[in-house]
Amino acid sequence: MSKFKSDNTGVMTMEFMILLPVLLMWFAGMFVFFDAFHKWMKSLKASYTVADLLTRQTSIDDAYIFALDGIFDSISQAKDGDETWLRVSQVKMNGDALELLWTTPTYRDETEEILLFSIEDIRNDIPTMVDNEYVIVVQSYRPFNPLFDWVGISATTFSNTIVAPLRFSSSLANEDHPITSPDTDEGLDSDDPEEAT
């Protein structure tokens, strides 16, 4: 027994076999966390790009917003099976209250409750605005399914909200959602964003 106790043959092999599962779990966890951070950053950068493109326009339509959805997918490196989508809205400060002028989601299934939307959903994301100021709000959604769900990150949806002022006009006209006049309840000329103010 004393000879067996003093025999160190195979100790390194045994230590390796004990630590191997731990190392494999650590590498798998590191990969999942890196993948989640990488996809979140790509989604955030794509959201800023979409918002920047919108701020350079004076008049758009829903087809343009759906085209931006494809740009978002390309920049964020989303796969064909990823159900990414955007919501683009225009918000105006009307006195002391925020007013939602129009909103367009690119979600394909219109029966989903996720399409229900109000100004209260984004109120905390909008900075202080002056009276009659317009901003564009871009909300992006990208599902994330980790390769391993036992590392502490479960399936989730990365969502980003970007608020941006317009560059070349006071408001962004949407031909499919003309801004209405509160006095006459008639649509203003959407091709003239200055008149819509």
Structural domain span for residue 59: 10-174
- Per-chain mean pLDDT for the chain: 84
Does residue 179 sit within a domain? Answer: no
Residue 129 lies in a domain: yes
pLDDT of residue 113 exceeding 70, the answer is: no
Is residue 193 in some structural domain?
A: no
The answer to whether residue 2 is domain-embedded is no
Structure tokens at 175: 């031909």
pLDDT in tens, 67-107: 999 999 999 998 877 889 999 999 999 988 999 999 999 98
47 falls within a domain: yes
Question: CA 173, 179, 182 angle in degrees (round to 5)?
Answer: 150
Whole-model pTM: value is: 0.77
Per-residue model confidence (pLDDT) at position 111: 53
**Would you say residue 65 has pLDDT above 90?**
yes
Into how many domains does the chain fold? 1
